[in-house]
Amino acid sequence: MKSSFFRFSAAATLLLSTAVAGQAETIKVGVVAPFSGPFALYGKQFQEAIEVYQAQHGTSAGEHDIEFIYKDSGGPNPDQARSLTQELLIKEQVDYLAGYVFTPNALSVAPLLDQSETPLVIFNAATSAINAQSDFYLRTSYTLWQVSAPLAEWAYEQGIRDVVTTVTDYGPGIDAENAFVTAFEEAGGTILDSIRMPLSTSDFTPFIQSIREQSPDALFTFLPGGPPTFGFTKTYNENGLREEGIMFLGTAETEESNLQGFGDAGIGLTTAYHYSADHDSELNREFIAKNVEMHPDAVTNWATIGAYDGTHVIYEMVKNAGADGPAAVESVLGLEWESPRGPLTMDPETRTVIQNVYIREVERDEDSGLLVNREKGVIATVGDLGWAE
């Protein structure tokens, strides 16, 4: 009994002491992500990215060793995410948190971050509103506004005037629709129709037919990855929308873990996104080569790069401030660095990275015979446009 009392009071004192510690010590980073179930790929990619970063930059930053602890959050489940985070903070005494794929999971820990003054680097969750809930959120992925709004402006510049938006009816889809519609109408274009398709749709013919009848210059879509994306593009091709000159505009639809599944139907799809594995830079080639060397079956995509850059931010924070949370966050605001995806800046206001958004078209690479997202244009340094919405 005595020892358990001791352990308990030890927990309390350790909690207090994290705030004052600063000497050379092992810094622990808790990674909360799905490692099981339908979203397990995220967790796998996060871990791969962290391992690649460690292989390239070592396992210590400044005078501190860095250790990563992984926790399985399953799918969107804020109760689970919150209690795991609490456990990481209290039991494992982590100094940093990272990962968080789903918006509700990331949102549920906001009060914990404020109370424990622990920085959290979001590797994926893409809703603008998260970062406003606590000053300890930093984001190295992107926000839906960040990629959808520039696409709208670009489309208008290309001479596209009428667009039908057709998104899957759930949080991210609606965010993307709002961003695109706002930006496109501001530029002077017309939205003929905004269609929201139920999440469980498998037959897209009625939606595609309705778009065809309205004969817009382009359609903008947002779909969850996997089968819905394949189904939608297949229907788009079969109904001859491409021949009629209705351009396909998307964002994450052609990301690399889906890409080869399209086959030839994917060729010519236009998307705006912040990362393509085909990005033409020495840094990106090295990054991918290292990832494939360490994990032969790995697909490098936006989730990998989000985690890779997130790890970089954590290393920088540890180097600058050790385990001192508020100082660590402060020290990386405005941080600029060159990532495999291009130049990045940590926006001091929104704490989301400012990055290039690329306009890409799916092509078949002549050398490898594989489909790639070839970058056709770049919209330089876009911040989180959804911040003020």
Partner 1 sequence: MTDTTITPKRTGRIAGIPFLGEAILIALVLAAYFLFPYNLAFLTRILIMVLLVLSLDLVLGFAGIATLGQAAMYGTGAYAAGLFAVHVTGAPLPGLVVGALAGAVLAFISGLVLMRARGLTLIMLTIAVASICHEIANKARDVTGGADGLRGIRMEPVLGLFEFDFIGKTAYWYVFVVVFVVFLLLKRLANAPLGLSLKGLHESPERMAAIGAPVYRRLVLAYTLGGGIAGVAGALAAQVTQLVSLEVYSFNLSAEALIMLILGGTGRLYGAIIGTVIFMTVHHVAAAADPFNWLFLIGLMVLGVVFFLPKGLAHLPTALTRLVRGRT
CB of 94 to partner 1, least distance (A): 12
Q: Which CB, 115 or 190, lies closer to partner 1?
A: 115
* Paired strand residues for 29: 68, 96
Q: Considering only residues 98, 101, 108, 360, which one is a binding residue for partner 1 as defined by CB under 8 A?
A: 108
Residue linked to tokens 């967790």: 43
Q: Considering only residues 59, 65, 67, 70, which one is a binding residue for partner 1 as defined by CB under 8 A?
A: 70
Q: Which CB, 262 or 387, lies closer to partner 1?
A: 387
CB of 115 to partner 1, least distance (A): 5
The SS3 assignment for 189 reads coil
Q: Dihedral sign for Cα 67, 72, 78, 83, please.
A: negative
Residue 72 contacts partner 1 per CB under 8 A:
yes
Residues 126-145 binding partner 1 (CB under 8 A) are: 127, 129, 133
Of 254, 287, 256, nearest to 272 (Cα)? Answer: 254
Stretch 20-59: interaction string toward partner 1, x if CB under 8 A: ---------------xxx--x--xx---------------
Q: Considering only residues 21, 59, 78, 361, which one is a binding residue for partner 1 as defined by CB under 8 A?
A: 78
Q: Cα torsion for 18, 24, 30, 31, to the nearest 10°?
A: 150
Query: How far is residue 135 CA from its own chain's centroid?
Result: 19
Residue linked to tokens 């930093």: 138
CB of 85 to partner 1, least distance (A): 8
Residues 258-317 binding partner 1 (CB under 8 A) are: none
Stretch that binds partner 1, among 107-115, 247-255, 321-329, 335-343 (CB under 8 A): 107-115
| Helix/strand/coil percentages in the chain, nearest 5 | 45, 25, 30
Give the angle 90-95-100 at the CA atoms, nearest 5°: 85
Residue 174 contacts partner 1 per CB under 8 A:
yes
CA distance 17 to 117: 12
Of 342, 389, 309, nearest to 144 (Cα)? Answer: 389
Report how far apart, in Å, the C-alpha atoms of 388 and of each of 77, 110, 146, 187 are.
27, 19, 12, 18
Residue 18 contacts partner 1 per CB under 8 A:
no
**Amino acid code (one letter) for 323:** A
CB of 72 to partner 1, least distance (A): 4
Q: Considering only residues 115, 210, 260, 281, which one is a binding residue for partner 1 as defined by CB under 8 A?
A: 115
Residues 79-98 binding partner 1 (CB under 8 A) are: 79-80, 82-83, 86-87, 90-91
Residue 4 contacts partner 1 per CB under 8 A:
yes
Tokens coding 381: 């340094």
Tokens coding 90: 């209290």
CA distance 123 to 179: 21
* Paired strand residues for 375: 360
Q: Considering only residues 8, 20, 23, 213, which one is a binding residue for partner 1 as defined by CB under 8 A?
A: 8
Residue 5 contacts partner 1 per CB under 8 A:
yes
**382 φ, ψ (degrees, to nearest 5):** -105, 130
Residue linked to tokens 């456990």: 87
Q: Which CB, 59 or 83, lies closer to partner 1?
A: 83
Using CB under 8 A as the criterion, which residues of the chain lie in contact with partner 1 when the complex forms? Answer: 1, 4-5, 7-8, 11-12, 15, 35-37, 40, 43-44, 70-72, 75-80, 82-83, 86-87, 90-91, 103-104, 107-108, 110-112, 115-116, 127, 129, 133, 169-172, 174
